[in-house]
């Protein structure tokens, strides 16, 4: 697949989606958000893709935020529409994919960049990464889910401090906060993401999709995560992956999941 601002590469069950506007530190303009939607959709629909890795091109930035030049003269209604369309097309879309998404944060992840990383199912970072939600320094607030996902990941007090000060935290602080799971050097970042993807791919993709649905349900308004867990747990018993996983265990062999 070819895009203007996104690179798309599928190999050995892993699709790597790279935001590719390095001259603008990979800032998310509308076109890039649409292209990212199309790229994630293509990965989700590809039966061979078991894990998606999202990262930024260049050595400086994952994504330095929404493209400020694009919304600087927006009205109230255009501002609301920007947030709602972006959330639907990209941020909620990624969070609800049934294919696991790992964000490999390779530099600045600010504003919409951190919001994109937080939409992924989990995050790793290179040691030069800097993360923050600087929107209030521009007179606006995070609009791509940041006011919700940051407190979920780091706790309300830390999230308020990051949002109110508009400051950046480094990779080690992000790890202390639970915002990223692992920190490594820049050269090792994608290999680490691929190693984690490899561990994920040993397991049942159907069960992983069910787990994503159950975990997400606990964070949705009007949904009961425990009820969703029961539903998804039950459904697993009707899958070929469950048959294979349990039989392989009983026969003392490695499972070869059909992914159904
Ligand atoms: N939107 C649009 N353009 C952006 C951008 C953004 N969020 N972030 C960076 N860019 C552009 C810069 O305008 C510059 O473009 P130019 O060369 O055409 O002038 C280019 O990317 C390089 O950025 P620059 O600011 O020169 O790099 P730096 O190393 O001096 O600073 C940052 C890096 C990340 C600290 C700085 O770019 C920044 O503060 N960006 C905005 C972060 C932000 O507020 N994001 C939230 C948006 S809601």
| 26 and 67 belong to one structural domain | yes
Same domain, 68 and 164: yes
Does 21 share its domain with 134?
Answer: yes
**Contact 67 CB / ligand 1 (< 6 Å):** yes
Clarify whether 81 is annotated catalytic.
no
CA of 64 to the centre of ligand 1 (A): 6
Flag whether 70 is in a domain. Answer: yes
What are the residues whose beta carbons fall under 8 Å from the beta carbon of 235, sequence distance 6 or more? 210
Query: Residue 255 falls within a domain, yes or no?
Result: no
pLDDT at 204 over 90: yes
The verdict on the CB of residue 27 being under 6 Å from ligand 1 is yes
Assigned domain for 53 exists? yes
Task: For residue 216, give its domain range.
Answer: 205-250
**Within this chain, do residues 227 and 197 fall inside the same structural domain, yes or no?**
no
* pLDDT over 90 percentage in the chain: 99
Ligand 1 centroid from CA 57, angstroms = 15
pLDDT digits (tens, 9 = 90+) for 117-154: 999 999 999 999 999 999 999 999 999 999 999 999 99
Catalytic residue among 11, 135, 220, 228: 135
115 classed as catalytic = yes
Among candidate residues 115, 172, 228, 229, the one labeled active-site is: 115
One domain for residues 20 and 95 = yes
* Pocket perturbation via mutation, ligand 1, pick of 25, 69, 143 by most ligand atoms within 8 A of CB: 25
What pLDDT shows up at residue 217? Answer: 98
Indicate whether this model's pTM tops 0.95: yes
Is there a single domain that holds both residue 46 and residue 106?
yes
What CATH number is associated with residue 167? 3.90.226.10
Number of domain units in the chain: 2
Residue pLDDT, tens place only, 208-255: 999 999 999 999 989 999 999 999 999 999 999 999 999 999 999 999
């Amino acid at each position: 697949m070819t895009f203007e601002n996104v690179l798309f590469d599928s190999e050995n069950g892993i699709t790597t989606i790279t935001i590719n506007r390095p001259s603008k530190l990979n800032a998310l303009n509308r076109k890039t958000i649409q292209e990212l939607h199309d790229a994630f959709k293509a990965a989700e629909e590809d039966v061979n893709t078991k894990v998606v890795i999202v990262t930024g091109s260049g050595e400086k930035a994952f994504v330095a935020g929404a493209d400020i030049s694009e919304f600087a003269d927006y009205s109230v209604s255009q501002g609301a529409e920007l947030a709602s369309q972006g959330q639907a097309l990209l941020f909620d879309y990624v969070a609800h994919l049934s294919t696991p998404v790992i964000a490999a944060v390779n530099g600045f992840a600010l504003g919409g960049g951190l919001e994109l990383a937080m939409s992924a199912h989990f995050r790793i970072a290179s040691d030069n990464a800097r993360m923050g939600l600087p929107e209030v320094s521009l007179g606006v607030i995070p609009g791509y889910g940041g006011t919700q996902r940051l407190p979920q990941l780091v706790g309300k007090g830390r999230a308020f401090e990051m949002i109110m000060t508009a400051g950046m935290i480094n990779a080690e602080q992000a790890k202390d906060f639970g915002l990223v799971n692992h920190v490594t050097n820049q050269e090792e970042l994608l290999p680490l993401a691929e190693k984690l993807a490899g561990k994920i791919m040993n397991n049942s993709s159907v069960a992983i999709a069910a787990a994503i649905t159950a975990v997400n349900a606990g964070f949705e308004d009007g949904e009961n995560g425990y009820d969703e867990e029961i539903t998804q747990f039950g459904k697993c018993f009707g899958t070929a992956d469950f048959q294979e996983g349990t039989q392989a265990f009983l026969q003392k062999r490695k499972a070869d999941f059909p992914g159904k």
